[in-house]
Amino acid sequence: MSFIATPQTMHFPEVLPLQSGASLRDYHLAYETYGTLNADASNAVLVCHALNASHHVAGVYEGQDKSEGWWDNMIGPGKPVDTNRLFVIGVNNLGSCFGSTGPMHLHPDTGEVYGADFPVVTVEDWVNAQARLLERLGITQLAAVLGGSLGGMQALSWTLQYPERVRHAVVVASAPNLTAENIAFNEVARRAIVTDPDFHGGHFYRHGVVPKRGLRIARMIGHITYLSDDVMNEKFGRQLREGLDLKYSTQDIEFQIESYLRYQGDKFSEYFDANTYLLITRALDYFDPARGHGGDLTQALARATAKFLLISFTTDWRFSPRRSREIVKALLDNRRSVSYAEIDAPHGHDAFLLDDARYMNVMRSYFDSIAKELA
Amino acid sequence: MSFIATPQTMHFPEVLPLQSGASLRDYHLAYETYGTLNADASNAVLVCHALNASHHVAGVYEGQDKSEGWWDNMIGPGKPVDTNRLFVIGVNNLGSCFGSTGPMHLHPDTGEVYGADFPVVTVEDWVNAQARLLERLGITQLAAVLGGSLGGMQALSWTLQYPERVRHAVVVASAPNLTAENIAFNEVARRAIVTDPDFHGGHFYRHGVVPKRGLRIARMIGHITYLSDDVMNEKFGRQLREGLDLKYSTQDIEFQIESYLRYQGDKFSEYFDANTYLLITRALDYFDPARGHGGDLTQALARATAKFLLISFTTDWRFSPRRSREIVKALLDNRRSVSYAEIDAPHGHDAFLLDDARYMNVMRSYFDSIAKELA
């Protein structure tokens, strides 16, 4: 049984300028904290989330079964990121659908739901918003910023946007930018959503409908890329859903893998916001710190002064170890302090959320050393 | 400039029993032949097609620009499969939308368009239909059966269903069955089609609409799996479609890869039949010769007596070299004659349709030796 977590909200009346040139004002950030900030506010760890996660990183909600945070196996009292010693903060990103201001909220200028008018937000914008939240919490420097996948991109961006405010960056199962194939998968998912007749150009709320067909397809595509071919074969293989006889149907479920994907798609379409899906996949597409440096990642990372831990997983084909090694190389080219672990795990991209003894040990020992620096 | 090809059609009034227990009658097969059948009908090569190809394998149609057959680089006078010496036959499979009887045709019992009522057809059914066509053409034994991808599955199945009628089987970029991941991609594509409101349960013809949204998504997913990550990065990378400035939009095209995929999807949705897409992906899912042998491929292939050439491509992640090696191993376990070439090509699954000197040379020398056996 985990500890009780309590979500909080902070209001920001001031304008947040965005990378696109647009801006947000009168926005809220939902966040949670675990552990206790020490006297000199030096033990803070910011956890950045990926596509469909939130500020609810660890703990459970009082009276709610199965309400564990998405990284509850990693973060908490006595866990690898030990909240007995560290003060951990989870923030829901702007544009999300889990509490922070997003497309489902009201535009302060018009009083109408933002919908498709919610401005495009980038990894850099999220980091700026997170930095303001930390200022309000009285944290001027993070002991560490930590994230997996898209969360890892935010951790990396922190070290470039606010180098003096980050002592350690832990970047798990991430990449310095998306490949053409990564963008391609995002684009198919977006087209499925946008061409769903229930999308109504992103203003489906006022029609009382949700583009569930598109969301289902988007989620099914996502799930395929989160898993490795090996783990799919092991979990599902060619197993039929019912009995041993084929039904010879193009539309009925025949194989277990079909049943699993349809279930995941249906579940997702019940709670996730379609505009949020577009925004978050676009933030992924756009992230590319080397872009302003003619594609030279070494030059781009020269600004970073933090110490780094990078972790990748051998069977992750979404953000393969090769992508993490690009970051490691660019940091080493800049003579930065870098630890790198390539974990031989069968679970594909999802491995960063799962229990694996070697992975947990690497994280535990790195965060132990961070905690020791505080003493 | 290639030679002129002439499509032909053969009518089959008799019943074709299908693997599902259903049957077809009064069906047509569209086919083409190139070269001349020799006196003892021993120089025939059957070419089996994959998902969106047809009986138009080689040559051009008179007066039609850009009408080259889909394997015109491989097959023709003086080409690796040399029609000066070999008599090559291309057949459009049942259920397709390019001439042979399929969902767009009339059900002989009802006089209505088949639509979703077209029976599920399998690789084995296609081979049975092809065998009947060959009987009509006076061919009792093939010098070779040849196919890539799903076409390779048909070539393999020929050696099991009609072992005595095949001297050589050439199986390119294929697999002994689909993995869970392969099925998963097919299932997402099918869901996109079936949940398109214009699908109308597969009877969209009578509504005067086509489920183009679903077809577009299906094709986009397909295209991603046909290409390698490397070739996508080389061809498109993170290149923007217009200029150097980002537009910061979730719906406008920003990257070249998006433009390419949308174009491919749009083009496909203009000519491909949605029910055919469902049928052909299901035929892929179902193919599994080891299924009746408790999953033992060696036992399954014991029936084959043909000589084999297998070819795979290093960057093909749809049907990876590992899958071809499974077939090679099972054949060797049975002490069959097998040649195997693993071509180091960057183009992914699509490589089997492209010019690559090593690939072409392997094919040429194998088919040369087949032609020499005739002399």
Quick one: average pLDDT of B342-358? 96
Interface test mutation site (partner B, options A215, A230, A236, A248, max chain B beta carbons within 10 A): A248
For a pLDDT cut of 70, what percent of chain B falls above it? 100
- Minimal C-alpha gap between A24 and chain B (Å): 15
- B30 to A265, B92, B94: CA distances (angstroms): 39, 5, 9
Calculate the CA B99 to chain-centre distance.
Answer: 15
- At CB < 8 A and 24+ separation, what contacts does B243-248 make? B246/A20, B246/A286, B248/A19, B248/A20, B248/A21, B248/A22, B248/A119, B248/A120, B248/A286
pLDDT over 80 at B86, yes or no? yes
- Minimal C-alpha gap between A178 and chain B (Å): 8
Contact residues, chain A, for B216 at CB < 8 Å: 191, 195
- pLDDT tens sequence for chain A (375 residues): 689 999 999 999 999 999 999 999 999 999 999 999 999 999 999 999 998 899 999 999 999 999 999 999 999 999 999 999 999 999 999 999 999 999 999 999 999 999 999 999 999 999 999 999 999 999 999 999 999 999 999 999 999 999 999 999 999 999 999 999 999 999 999 999 999 999 999 999 999 999 999 999 999 999 999 999 999 999 999 999 988 889 999 999 999 999 999 999 999 999 999 999 999 999 999 999 999 999 999 999 999 999 999 999 999 999 999 999 999 999 999 999 999 999 999 999 999 999 999 999 999 999 999 999 997
Query: What is the structure's pLDDT at A1?
Result: 63
Token pair of A299 as six digits? 């030059």
What value, to the nearest 5°, has the Cα angle with vertex A137 and ends A134 and A140? 55
Would the CB atoms of A185 and B224 count as touching at under 8 Å? yes
Gyration radius of chain A's alpha carbons = 21
Query: What is the structure's pLDDT at A65?
Result: 92
pLDDT over 90 at B242, yes or no? no
Query: Which of B227, B250, B265 has the CB atom closest to A282's CB atom?
Result: B250
Quick one: average pLDDT of B81-106? 97
Q: How many contacts does A have with B, using Cβ atoms within 8 A?
A: 164
pLDDT over 70 at B1, yes or no? no
Interface test mutation site (partner A, options B18, B117, B120, B181, max chain A beta carbons within 10 A): B181
Quick one: average pLDDT of B112-131? 97
Token pair of A77 as six digits? 């009292």
| Other beta carbons less than 10 A from residue B12's beta carbon | 18
User: How long, in residues, is chain A?
Assistant: 375
Contact residues, chain A, for B255 at CB < 8 Å: 180, 183, 187, 285
Question: What count of Cα atoms within 13 Å lies in the side-chain half-sphere of residue A142?
Answer: 31
Query: Which of A180, A238, A250 has the CB atom closest to B233's CB atom?
Result: A180
Strands (DSSP E) found in A116-155: 142-148
End-to-end CA gap in chain B: 29
d(CA A119, CA A103): 9
Check: CB of residue B165 under 8 Å from CB of residue B131.
Answer: yes
Query: Which of B185, B236, B246 has the CB atom closest to A286's CB atom?
Result: B246
pLDDT in tens, B141-190: 999 999 999 999 999 999 999 999 999 999 999 999 999 999 999 999 99
pLDDT in tens, B243-261: 888 999 999 999 999 999 9
pLDDT over 90 at B374, yes or no? yes
Check: CB of residue B247 under 8 Å from CB of residue A285.
Answer: no
Question: In 3D, which of B262, B275, B232 has the Cα closest to residue A192?
Answer: B262
Token pair of A205 as six digits? 């709320």
Quick one: average pLDDT of B6-23? 97
Query: What is the interface pTM, i.e. ipTM, of the complex?
Result: 0.95
Query: What is the structure's pLDDT at B375?
Result: 75
Q: What average pLDDT does the structure give for chain B?
A: 97
Based on the number of CB atoms within 10 Å of its own CB, is A177 exposed (0-12), middle (13-18) or buried (19 or more)?
Answer: buried
Would the CB atoms of A224 and B184 count as touching at under 8 Å? yes
- Minimal C-alpha gap between B48 and chain A (Å): 22
Would the CB atoms of B224 and A261 count as touching at under 8 Å? no
Query: What is the structure's pLDDT at A218?
Result: 98
